[in-house]
Chains A and B, each alone.
Chain A
Amino acid sequence: MNRSEIVAHLRIALSAVLNREVGELTPAARLFEDLALDSTSVIELLMSLEDTIGLEIDPDDLGPEVFQTIGSLTEYIEASFNRVSAV
């Protein structure tokens, strides 16, 4: 899955979490300040992506640096996909 596809899935999942339509996402968009998310809702978002797009996260890789921006979250998801496909 490439980055643009990941961002598209993120947009759908975010709309569900925030209960409103989310417009175009830029890599610089901040999860907490710009999108009004918190760490719990971001983790729940990742859990929902495990169910919908087959993402498999490794909790030990999950740190606060992932929760900074759409760009950092996308990188984490991309790395998770790459790790699984490399196994």
Chain B
Amino acid sequence: MPLPQLDLDTDGRPAHRARRIRSEITNVGLSRVAVQLPQGVEPVDDIMVRAGRGVLERKMFTKVYGLRDIPTLAEGEQMEDLLVAAGREALAGGTADLVLYGHTMLMGETDLCGEFPDRLRARLGLTDSRFYGLSHINCASVLRCVELARSYLARPGAGPDERVLVLGGDQGSVADDARVIAGTTVSGDCAAAVLVHAPAAAARPRYRYLAGAGGRDVRFHRSIRMTAEENALFAKVCSMQVVDTLHRALDKVGLTVESLDWVLPHLNNKMFWRTFSSDAGVPRDRICMDLIPERGHSFGADALMAMEHADRMGRLHAGDLCALIAIGQGAYFQAMIIEVLEDQ
């Protein structure tokens, strides 16, 4: 069956929003994002005190970075339960041929180890589906999973009804010193899931994938073990690396940053996105930072959570173009351009 081409006109849109999108790639669809939050919440400052961080850094995180609270697993709650609940909601009673779990923490560091993939598949009702984890690119892993899902669904012989379930999120609360990334952010325990549909699927998705791009900068391969000098250099160049990755994604479909209605960001901190706004020429009010004070950073799930929030708040409308952005320590970058489709 021939794949639908994305060269399209913008029928039905007001003239001032008319855009012409060029694409030679396979445009899969994405479901609404399912997000699961734990029952607990902790003040960022309490976590930083326990992690032994200095007064000035604590003040910087809360006042300048805008980090206030972090969702945290309550006593007896399990990260696996959040992932299952998010996955079930995204599946909406349906199935998936493949499950891709993008995570940052090593499985052995959480309570997910020990037959976790088998347990998860069984609880999702996907016993016969294949399951793969993607972790080596840290917090860029979840958006990269969507890219891999797109490739999988575009393979020769793929059926129109095949679907891929993408899961994201980690247990940040596994250790206080590990959940505070020096000079950057504090990580929480949230899970997100999205179902990726084949291009010719009968079901109409909420979003259409338009393009994506990834990048890496090996100068920062030491990740959380970088020296002070490497951290300083990373802070200096990170925003421009994100801008470059975003431009490469937009270029693939003949778009520019001016075309974007929303940037749905990595929720690391507000100061980073103020810098990005200046470097990219994207107005701050088009970067959806609402969740930073109340949820902070949830590893690779951030951009999906920002999209779910923006949609739930009624900010996304059919025809809107959005850029989802993720940044992984190490350093890895991922940008994904989507179009919002008519709500069903």
Same assembly:
yes
For A64, the chain B residues whose CB sits under 8 A away are 239, 274-275, 278-279
**B60 CB contacts on chain A under 8 angstroms:** 40, 43-44, 47
Find out whether the CB atom of B275 lies under 8 angstroms from the CB atom of A63. yes
**Is A48 in the interface zone, CB < 8 Å from B?**
yes
Set of chain B residues within 8 Å of A43, measured between Cβ atoms: 60, 64, 271
Residues 14-64 (chain A) with a chain B CB within 8 angstroms = 32, 38-41, 43-44, 46-48, 50, 57, 59, 62-64
Given the known interface contacts A47-B63, A59-B63, A63-B275, the answer about A39 and B235 at a Cβ–Cβ threshold of 8 Å is yes
CB neighbors of A among B214-237 (8 A) = 231-232, 235-236
Bound form: Cα–Cα A27–B270 in Å:
27
Cβ of B13 under 8 Å from chain A = no
**Chain B residues with a Cβ closer than 8 Å to the other chain, count:** 20
CA of A65 to CA of B278, assembled, Å: 8
Of the candidates B64, B270, B279, the one having the most CB atoms from chain A within 10 angstroms of its own CB is B64
Residues of chain B lying within 8 A (CB to CB) of residue A44:
56-57, 60
Number of interface residues of A (CB under 8 A): 17
- Chain B residues near A32 (CB-CB < 8 A): 236
Contact A59 B275 (CB under 8 A): no
Total A-B contacts with CB atoms under 8 angstroms apart: 49
Using CB atoms, name the residue of chain B closest to A41.
B232
Q: How far is the CB of A15 from the nearest CB of chain B, in Å? A: 15
In the complex, what distance in Å separates the CA atom of A65 from the CA atom of B239?
Answer: 14
Shortest Cβ distance from B238 into A: residue: A39
> Could you mark each residue 3-19 of chain A with 1 if its beta carbon is under 8 Å from any beta carbon of chain B, else 0?
00000000000000000
Q: Are A59 and B278 in contact (CB under 8 A)?
A: no
Chain A contacts of B57 at CB under 8 A?
44
Write the nearest CB–CB distance from A38 to chain B, whole angstroms.
4
Minimal beta-carbon separation of B96 from chain A (angstroms):
42
Residue of A nearest to B66 (CB): A59
Q: Does residue B40 face the partner (Cβ distance < 8 Å to A)?
A: no
Q: Which of B59, B63, B271, B278 contacts A39 (CB 8 A)?
A: B271
Structural contact, B274 and A63, CB atoms closer than 8 A:
yes
Shortest beta-carbon distance from B57 to chain A in Å:
7
Find out whether the CB atom of A40 lies under 8 angstroms from the CB atom of B278: no
Distance in angstroms between the alpha carbons of A56 and B279 in the assembled complex: 26
CA distance A64 to B280 in the complex (A): 12
Is B52's CB within 8 Å of the partner chain A?
no
The answer to whether B236 and A47 have CB atoms under 8 Å apart is no
Between-chain CB contacts (< 8 Å), 13 pairs: A39-B275, A40-B232, A40-B235, A43-B64, A47-B56, A47-B63, A57-B63, A57-B64, A59-B63, A59-B270, A62-B271, A63-B274, A65-B278
Binding site for B on A (CB under 8 A): 32, 38-41, 43-44, 46-48, 50, 57, 59, 62-65
